Amino acid sequence: MADLWGGRFTGQASELMEQFNESFTVDKRLWRQDITASIAHVTMLGETNIITIEESADLQAALKELYAEIEADPEILSGNHEDIHSFVEAKMIEKIGDTGKKMHTARSRNDQVTVDMKLYVIESLKDLKLTVQEMIKAFNAKGESVDCLMPAYTHLQRAQIIKFSYLLDAYVQMFTRDIKKIDAAIEIADENPLGAGALAGTTFDIDRQMTTDLLGFSSIQTNTLDSVSNRDFILDGLQVFSNLMIHMSRFAEDFIIYSSQEFAFVESSDSFSTGSSMMPQKKNPDALELIRGKAGKIIGLMNGMYSIMKGIPLTYNKDMQEDKEIYFEAFDTTLACVQILTGVVEELIVNQDRLNSTVNDGFLNATELADYLVRQGLPFREAHGVVGAMVKGAIEQNSQLHDLSLETMQQYSDVIQADVYDYLEPEKIMQRGTKVEM
Ligand code: ARG
């Protein structure tokens, strides 16, 4: 392997060390960002007369040519290279000889790798945002296409009546917060580290504003020590993924339960389910289970990155090279989960009759009965006690609150009138107070 530091060394790195040290197999994914940042860098080197305008033009042309070549044939990204940076430099030397050797003037791989990763993270977060927005559309569309009531739960015990669409909206709210977090992560990352050099700048009179503008960053990251040792933007990305994953995982858990035969509220479509090799009757919600499982993996990757960063001294340390494998894996997984969940929701079969019928049992109108008593003049705590006793009585009779006779009800409280039945109708409940929002 050709290395970038031969002068200081007499011995060769062992093959084992070369393999251990290399990151090309992982960071070749940064080729677009590396070439783009290099074009900005050599443009600036020309404009500031650190290299000649001709040399700068040759480098720019050769970099653009390489970009087009890789786009046409990604297989070019192969061979024995330490990382994407040494690969691109080797290609420049191959293409334009000595001028290629000037590309790395006033730059280090430390600011280079940071700028590449920042560009990658910002782009990937923008892609993720669009994908989450599509998922939100799917949730809203499903909510609009279904018009039925259902029980909502606390402690997985039937609690109160809601509309099915309202449950989906709860997830839409979570994903909307995730989008705000994506925007915040992009905003925080949006400072240009290029020009920080290895750690303490360069003796050349570079123009950091120029590369900042060329690369589309909003500002220059001023402290160079911070610039090359900062991986907060990776951690922020991983936090965004983890947050999004726990939201998707909670949806997965809800709908795995709801698709069990005991609940039978929903059924996942054949295209997002799998069967069993042994039990012919099975239709398993594998897509949702995988999302739930992968959420654990993403949180693990985030924790891994935090552990890497927690104790390393300023500034750049090779530990940080691990960031790419972690980030790419976490990003790919999260993006795939968003796409899969979008499909699951689009094709979700909602058993509306079953859902509508569930709201008639399980004492889902108990709180509303207590509210009724309050309207008749009872203090809420007293009303709560009365309804509690009525529920107990109804259970003993194997009955529901709205099935108790008026006479029976009046034994618990004489303020109860015949209008109570109308009051306890699920549809009527939904029309009162704050319950009509969806
Ligand atoms: N492959 C390295 C990384 O990903 C690039 C930076 C190398 N810098 C260095 N001083 N060895 O972190």
Please report which residue ranges of 259-365 form alpha helices under DSSP H: 286-309, 322-347, 352-358
Nearest to 85 by CA among 26, 44, 6, 14: 26
Q: Which residues of the chain have pLDDT under 50?
A: none
Q: What is the pLDDT of residue 39?
A: 98
Q: Would the CB of 231 count as within 6 Å of ligand 1?
A: no
Please report which residue ranges of 97-231 form alpha helices under DSSP H: 109-145, 164-189, 208-215, 224-229
Q: What is the pLDDT of residue 402?
A: 92
- Residues 302 and 277: their CA atoms lie apart, in Å, by 35
Q: What is the pLDDT of residue 162?
A: 94
Catalytic choice (155, 260, 268, 277): 155
Output the residue whose Cα is nearest ligand 1's atom 12: 321
CA Rg value for the chain: 31
pTM: predicted TM-score of the whole model, two decimal places: 0.92
Q: What is the pLDDT of residue 115?
A: 98
Question: Mean pLDDT over all residues of the chain?
Answer: 94
Q: What is the pLDDT of residues 225-236, one digit of tens each?
A: 999 999 999 999
Q: What is the pLDDT of residue 139?
A: 98
Q: Please give the structure tokens belonging to residue 21.
A: 């040290």
Q: What is the pLDDT of residue 431?
A: 85
Q: Is 384 a catalytic residue?
A: no
Nearest to 320 by CA among 329, 311, 331: 311
Q: Is 155 a catalytic residue?
A: yes
Q: What is the pLDDT of residue 434?
A: 77
* 281 DSSP 8-state letter: T
- Residue pair 53/103 in contact (Cβ under 8 Å)? The answer is no
**Which residue out of 34, 104, 113 has the highest number of ligand 1 atoms within 8 Å of its CB and is therefore the one to mutate?**
113
**Residues paired with residue 158 on neighbouring β-strands, in sequence order:** 153
Distance from the alpha carbon of residue 238 to the mean position of ligand 1, in angstroms: 21
What ligand 1 atom has the least distance to the C-alpha of 316?
Answer: 10
Q: Would the CB of 316 count as within 6 Å of ligand 1?
A: yes
**Given the DSSP bridges, would you call strands 219-220 and 266-267 parallel, antiparallel or unpaired?**
unpaired
Q: Please give the structure tokens belonging to residue 160.
A: 């109160």
Query: String of b and e for 194-209 (b: at least 16 CB within 10 Å)?
Result: bbbbebebbeeebbbe
Output the DSSP codes for 132-167.
HHHHHHHHHHHHHH---EEEEEETTEEEEEEEHHHH
Q: Please give the structure tokens belonging to residue 420.
A: 């109570």
Distance from the alpha carbon of residue 110 to the mean position of ligand 1, in angstroms: 6
- Residue pair 152/162 in contact (Cβ under 8 Å)? The answer is yes
Q: What is the pLDDT of residue 436?
A: 60
- Residues 122 and 128: their CA atoms lie apart, in Å, by 10
Q: What is the pLDDT of residue 438?
A: 54
Q: What is the pLDDT of residues 346-398, one digit of tens each?
A: 999 999 999 999 988 888 889 999 999 999 999 999 999 999 999 999 999 99
**Which residue out of 110, 117, 228, 309 has the highest number of ligand 1 atoms within 8 Å of its CB and is therefore the one to mutate?**
110
Q: Would the CB of 117 count as within 6 Å of ligand 1?
A: no
